Amino acid sequence: MDVEVKVIEGGVRKYQNKSLVQKLRNQYFKLKVSGNPQNLFVEKSVQFLRHPKNIHLSDNIIIKEGAKLCPTNSDSVIKIGENTTIGYYSMLFSSFRIEIGADCMISPFAYLVDANHGIIKDKLINQQKLEAKPIRIHDDVWVGTGVKILAGAEIGRGAVISANAVVSGEIPENAIVVGNPGRVMSYRTEK
């Protein structure tokens, strides 16, 4: 069976809203974070929660509608590299450190969380300490829709994490990852 394929140039950056309201929203969020990101584009209903000054944004970042970025304590950090897009309704919750490299695409409904609650039997879950491990996503990574990236994950440069995969360990460069738990299915090729 032949499937018709259409290649579309430009993508999300080509069709950004350039209204006055959008420009004011971009300026408002630029003032909330650390540094001085140029060409920051933040859509409606985005929230920078708890400690927004611990969010470090590089230039040319797009954060789509409904995304939430939350450094949960005064020492936690979220750092995003240049030319990266955070998709619709994605959530980044950092108790320690989440780093996303340059030129990455985080698809809609991705969930990144760098901590887990303790699970000792004779103590209430909500009274147990968190164990946090950093998440690191290297440059040129594509995180598919609905992906969960958990504490301690390190995703190598050029990797592709397929829709709904769950990643908690180390992913090699250019790997294509599927499933729960995430496992390497293949690698990106020249063609």
Kindly report the average pLDDT of the chain as a whole number.
94
Q: Which residue has the tokens 């994605």?
A: 90
CA distances from 17 to 6, 95, 169 (A): 24, 33, 37
Q: Which residues are catalytic?
A: 117
C-alpha count within 13 angstroms, C-beta hemisphere, residue 158: 9
- What mean pLDDT do residues 67-72 have? 98
For residue 7, pLDDT over 80 is answered with: no
pLDDT tens-digit series, residues 89-107: 999 999 999 999 999 999 9
Of the candidates 91, 89, 36, 42, which has an alpha carbon nearest to the alpha carbon of residue 62? Answer: 42
Give the tokens for residue 96: 């320690």
Q: In the prediction, which pLDDT does 11 show?
A: 67
Q: In the prediction, which pLDDT does 10 show?
A: 64
For residue 122, pLDDT over 70 is answered with: yes
Can you list the positions of beta strands (E) in 95-174? 97-100, 105-106, 111-113, 115-117, 130-132, 135-137, 142-143, 148-149, 154-155, 160-161, 166-167, 170-171
Q: What are phi and psi of 12, to 5 degrees?
A: -60, -35
pLDDT tens-digit series, residues 34-57: 989 999 999 999 999 999 999 999
Cα–Cα distance between 180 and 147 in angstroms, integer? 10
